[in-house]
Every structure is written in structure tokens, then in C-alpha cells.
Amino acid sequence: MKKILPFVLVLLLVSCGGGEEKWVLMSSPVDADLYDVWVLENGNVWIAGAEGKVLFYDGEILGALESGLSATLRGVSFASENTGWVCGNFGVIARYSDGTWVQDTSFGFTRTLHDIYFFDDNTGWAVGSGGNIYYYNGTFWKEFPSPVNNTLKCLHFCDKNHGWAAGDEGVIIKYSDGTWVEIASPADRTINGVWAVSPDEAWFVGVDGLIIHWKDGSFEVLPSQTTLDLYGVWMKNPNDGWICGENGALYHYEEGEWVAKASPTAKNLYGINKGWACGEEGTVIRIE
């Protein structure tokens, strides 16, 4: 089994406001950019980034795990405590099982894979450059028909039958009934992050402060809170969520509005999931 490299955990407590959830900056074992984070139900956390970097948090220590990969990793998803996947540049895709990362060399795609999502060990999706979509059936990856040619930068499902992907030039596609279809987008700016709340609701974020809400069959582009690029969105429930972005930007969804909050970092934050966020130069923050 690959060893986790331990280090002394240091927390810099930075308040986000009295009585509110508090984000804290964690000491990171790497200085490479980190692009995606996945939090398991047991509290374990996986983070993926540049130079093949993979970080793991076991509830006590955040450490670097040897992945054997050198390409930039842009997406990470775990189906269970012991089985997960990463994807990234040059079509790299690798599986974690029994404590070891193994690259799937049979995968024929050589362009960037931007995001990946797994429900269980036998069902997963990946999206990337040129609108390419790939599906994992438990044995192998296969290309899945895509309705677009735009690069897809983000992917999320609320259940096995309902999901979204989005990307360059505001392209948005929706998965239901076994098919991906393009949905007319209300914006032409690149979308970097998506969160499917339910079959009837989803959030999208992107460049220049773009925030889009899909609910009950229609889109709403929210009034801009910022001109900063937004990279990730995570919804705890329909009434509570967070957005992360450029220069450490954090926005909290409360009482039907997105409200700017103090951040413990000025570094770009690229990924957010279940109270954790990661970003530029090894930055990792979490809600304490």
C-alpha cells in the first residue's frame, strides 16, 4: 500500500462572522495547484491536482499520497471508501483500489478530461475536451454520444438518472432517460462548476461572476455579485450552499441570496465539496 506522508496539521482560524460557519486554512503538504475535492460519508477527503498530486485526509491528518502519475489531475470521485477515480490532462484516468492507484492504459482518449463522477463501483461518467463524454460500466470505459462539441468542464448528478454537464461558451447539457441533450443556455460565458440539487433544480457558476439557477424547467441568471471568476459550487441542501472562486472568493447561499463571506485565503479556489475547498499553490480550506 502506498504510504501517506504525514505532517503536523496547523489550522489558522479565520472567522467568517459571528455565529456563522467558519472556514479555516489548513497546512498543505504540497504547493502544486489543486483542482478538485471529494468528501466521503465517513469524513475522509480526497484532493487531486497538478503534477499528479493526490492528497488524503483521514479525519486527523492531511497528507500526500503517491499516485504514480505526473499529469495534472482535474477531477476526483470516490464510489466507496476503498474505490475511486481521478482524471486529467492527456486523457489520464486512474483507479484507486486496495490502497494503490493504477492508470487505465486502455483508455484511448488523449485530450483533457475535466471532471469525473461515480455513483458506485460499476457506474461512472467523465467529460472533457471537444464535448467528449465517457461512461464506465463496471468493466471498461466507452465513449457515449454527446450533443455538443464544446469542452465540458464540470459534471454532477443528483441520482443515476439525472445529471448535468457544462463548459465553454456557456454550453449546458442534461442527462435523463439514458440520453444527454443540450439545453439552450441563458449565457455565453464559460461555466466552471455545476451542482445538481434534484431532478428539478441545479446551480451553475462561471467566469465574470456568472451564477445560473435552473428550477422547474427554466433558467435564471442571477444579478452579478462580482466580476471575479467562479469555479465551484456545492449545495448542502436547496436552501444552503457555497460557491468558491478567484482570489479566495466565497459566497454563501442564505435566505434565497448569495452573500459574500470572508475567506482565509486570497488564492484562487478551484474545487469545493461538502465543507472543503482547494485551489492555487496547494491551498486547502475547510469549514470547522
**For 79-124, how does the pLDDT look when each residue is reduced to its tens digit (9 = 90+)?**
999 999 999 999 999 999 989 999 998 878 899 999 999 999 889 9
**207: containing domain:** 4-287
Model pLDDT, residue 19: 57
Q: Which of 11-25, 30-44, 266-280 has the lowest mean pLDDT?
A: 11-25
As a whole number, mean pLDDT of residues 9-26 equals 59
Full-prediction pTM beyond 0.85?
yes
Q: Are 127 and 136 in contact (CB under 8 A)?
A: no
Domain total for the chain?
1
Q: Is beta strand 113-120 parallel, antiparallel or unpaired with respect to 123-128?
A: antiparallel
**For 238-260, how does the pLDDT look when each residue is reduced to its tens digit (9 = 90+)?**
999 999 999 999 999 999 999 99
> φ, ψ for residue 161 (rounded to 5)?
-105, 0
**For 139-154, how does the pLDDT look when each residue is reduced to its tens digit (9 = 90+)?**
999 999 999 999 999 9
CATH number where 236 lies: 2.130.10.10
SS3 per-residue string spanning the chain: CCCEECCCCCEEECCCCCCCCCEEEECCCCCCCEEEEEECCCCCEEEEEHHHCEEEECCCCEEEECCCCCCCEEEEEEEECCEEEEEEHHHCEEEEECCEEEECCCCCCCCCEEEEEEEECCEEEEEEHHHCEEEECCCCEEEECCCCCCCEEEEEEEECCEEEEEEHHHCEEEEECCEEEECCCCCCCCEEEEEEEECCEEEEEEHHHCEEEEECCEEEECCCCCCCCEEEEEEEECCEEEEEEHHHCEEEEECCEEEEECCCCCCCEEEEECCEEEEHHHCEEEEC
- Dihedral-angle region of residue 244 (phi above 0 means left; psi in -120 to 50 means alpha; beta otherwise): beta
